Structure 1
Amino acid sequence: MNARTEPAEAEAEPETPARPPLIREFLLVAGLFLVYKLGRQLATGHTGDAFHNARRVWHLERAVHLPHENAVQSALLHGDTLARVANTYYATVHFPATLAFLVWLYVRRPAHYVWARRVLAAVTTAALVLPFTFPLAPPRMLAGTGLVDTAQLYGPSVYGPPSSDHLSNQFAAMPSLHFGWALMVAVGLIAATRSHWRWLWLLHPLITLLVIVGTANHYWLDSIVATAMLAVALALIRRPRRTAGTAGLGVGRPVTREPVLVGAGR
């Protein structure tokens, strides 16, 4: 019998995810950042409640034996340089790192981009509710803790006096979106890539945590609440499955199949 060739049974190939329209995504992401800034502004005021809640958080952390924020700050205050580096990290890394993360996913991993954008939007929206219900002064403002405002002492500082600061709400310490976004950047990059080194992205939220605590801008509890919010969002918003693209083969790259010889050798 003559040999004949037949294609192997078709296998399901990963389809290239449709990349969302660029203009629409630009407007959505810009809107997310705008809501983040304006939403915190709407929650200004409630100074008395903010300081009352700050004392409650401080005493709760001591009651459950969380480490003292002073230990982290003491490490920063061994020299002016380390304190300035921490202040600079706090002031300059938060937004650019998150934006770079979203841009990279949009270009290289469209499906993961949509997932990450939805998670960030959900966490940010939920986080904007807390300042209305639980205003919180940061530890740098709380007397009797032994903490200092490193940004005011060594610079650079992103905040002015609370009474005249019209660009941010300094009584919205909980949750820490600095930490929540940094953790999502790490989670998103770990989920979207396959490199053995991808777990090093966890250094970003770890450094962010030490910075926000060491500069006395946040309590440990602010980061714990942000982590819980992120965990809920990740549980509710399904992550896309890995495809050939996330395995290093290129998104949507066709898989080569050899023809099968049927009847050969009979």
Structure 2
Amino acid sequence: MVAGSETPVVRAPHRTQQIVRELCVIATAIVAYFGVRGLITTRIDIAYRNAEHVVSWERSAGVFVEPELQRTVAGHGWLVEILGDIYIFGHWPVLLTTLLWLLIRHREAYRVFRNAMLLSGALGLVVFALFPVAPPRFFTAYGFVDTVTEHTSAYRVLQPPAFVNQYAAVPSLHFGWNLLMGIAVASLGTHWSIRLFGWLMPVLMFAAIVLTANHYIFDGFAGGTIALLSLLIAYRLAKKPLSARRLR
């Protein structure tokens, strides 16, 4: 009876320490990601030129419909507000809440999705450095409108222009990371409403990044591809025996 009663006392502090340690890792990674992203030297003329390349590619593929879609949405103020809220509050609050849920309830899955986020973030930084792209909101000549800034300053306060690289539209990890969390929630949720949220969340975020003129459609596909590739690698690494990973 004594031994049995001591076990929870020993495990509880250890579990709390693990959670605190992981939260510190995530917080450090987030700060480092945006710090490095903000420090990446970007030639603005190249970023605008690359953005024109993206527009040209989309036109060739017949998918450069962002300005037309945004004009359609602009006629519905309530929809513009909802898209802005999804873009702002559907990102970091959802990411951090989902990661915490995974950490507490699904430890093995947490490691996989955490590693996928870290890996996709690293890959994203490489792309930002090699292929800077100006976001659609800077191209008013095409009819783009920065609806997020027009309706609220919250997002620009949370991520001030001086702190982040404004010319890092490709890839959109704003969408890619939400896609990762959506997969986690949809696959591990125990109630149909939770799983439905997991399915809808990435779809709504994709719509939000495009219709608020923060990303091109191309950016979303690039961010989703990098996120899924990183998730595949993270799964492969998780399946390797511990001894094999130590040998590397």
Displacement of 1:39 in angstroms is 1.8
- Give 2:219's aligned residue: 222
Whole-Å Cα distance in 2 between the matches of residues 34 and 229 of structure 1?
20
- Give 1:193's aligned residue: 189
Could you tell which deviates more after superposition, 127-136 or 148-157?
A: 148-157
Q: Does 1:24 align with 2:21?
A: yes
Alpha-carbon displacement from aligned partner over 1:132-184 (angstroms, at most 9, x marks no partner): 10111001112431211212333345338xxx931221101111111001100
Which is bigger in relative contact order (C-alpha 8 A, separation at least 6)? 1
| Structure number with higher helix proportion | 2
- Give 2:173's aligned residue: 177
- Give 1:129's aligned residue: 126
Displacement of 1:195 in angstroms is 4.2
> Match of 1:165, as an amino acid?
P
TM-score (norm 1): 0.76
**Equivalent pair of 1:140/1:149 in contact (CA under 8 Å):** yes
- Give 2:9's aligned residue: none
Displacement of 1:108 in angstroms is 0.8
**Equivalent pair of 1:84/1:155 in contact (CA under 8 Å):** no
**Equivalent pair of 1:51/1:142 in contact (CA under 8 Å):** no
Displacement of 1:237 in angstroms is 1.6
Whole-Å Cα distance in 1 between the matches of residues 148 and 20 of structure 2?
37
Whole-Å Cα distance in 2 between the matches of residues 151 and 108 of structure 1?
34
Q: CA RMSD in A?
A: 2.3
Query: Number of residues paired by the alignment?
Result: 221
Unaligned runs of 5+ in 2: 1-13, 240-248
Q: Does 1:235 align with 2:232?
A: yes
Alpha-carbon displacement from aligned partner over 1:91-138 (angstroms, at most 9, x marks no partner): 222111100001001111111111111111111111111111011100
Whole-Å Cα distance in 1 between the matches of residues 111 and 49 of structure 2?
39
> Match of 1:48, as an amino acid?
D
- Partner of residue 108 from structure 1, selected from 105, 108, 112: 105
1:238 aligned counterpart, secondary structure: helix
- Partner of residue 154 from structure 1, selected from 140, 151, 156: 151
Whole-Å Cα distance in 2 between the matches of residues 187 and 47 of structure 1?
35
- Give 2:6's aligned residue: none
- Give 1:47's aligned residue: 44
User: Computing the radius of gyration over CA atoms, which structure comes out larger, 1 or 2?
Assistant: 1
Displacement of 1:75 in angstroms is 3.4
Whole-Å Cα distance in 2 between the matches of residues 171 and 135 of structure 1?
6
Residues 23/134 of structure 1: CA separation in 2 closer, same or farther (3 Å cut):
same
- Percentage of identical aligned residues: 29
Residues 55/143 of structure 1: CA separation in 2 closer, same or farther (3 Å cut):
farther
Residues 83/156 of structure 1: CA separation in 2 closer, same or farther (3 Å cut):
farther
Residues 93/199 of structure 1: CA separation in 2 closer, same or farther (3 Å cut):
closer
**Equivalent pair of 2:173/2:223 in contact (CA under 8 Å):** yes
Unaligned runs of 5+ in 1: 1-17, 242-266
- Give 1:165's aligned residue: 161
- Give 1:73's aligned residue: 70
Whole-Å Cα distance in 1 between the matches of residues 89 and 164 of structure 2?
15
Displacement of 1:199 in angstroms is 4.4
Whole-Å Cα distance in 1 between the matches of residues 232 and 107 of structure 2?
20
1:159 aligned counterpart, secondary structure: helix
**Equivalent pair of 2:37/2:128 in contact (CA under 8 Å):** yes
**Equivalent pair of 2:173/2:227 in contact (CA under 8 Å):** no
> Match of 1:166, as an amino acid?
A
**Equivalent pair of 1:87/1:211 in contact (CA under 8 Å):** yes
- Give 2:245's aligned residue: none
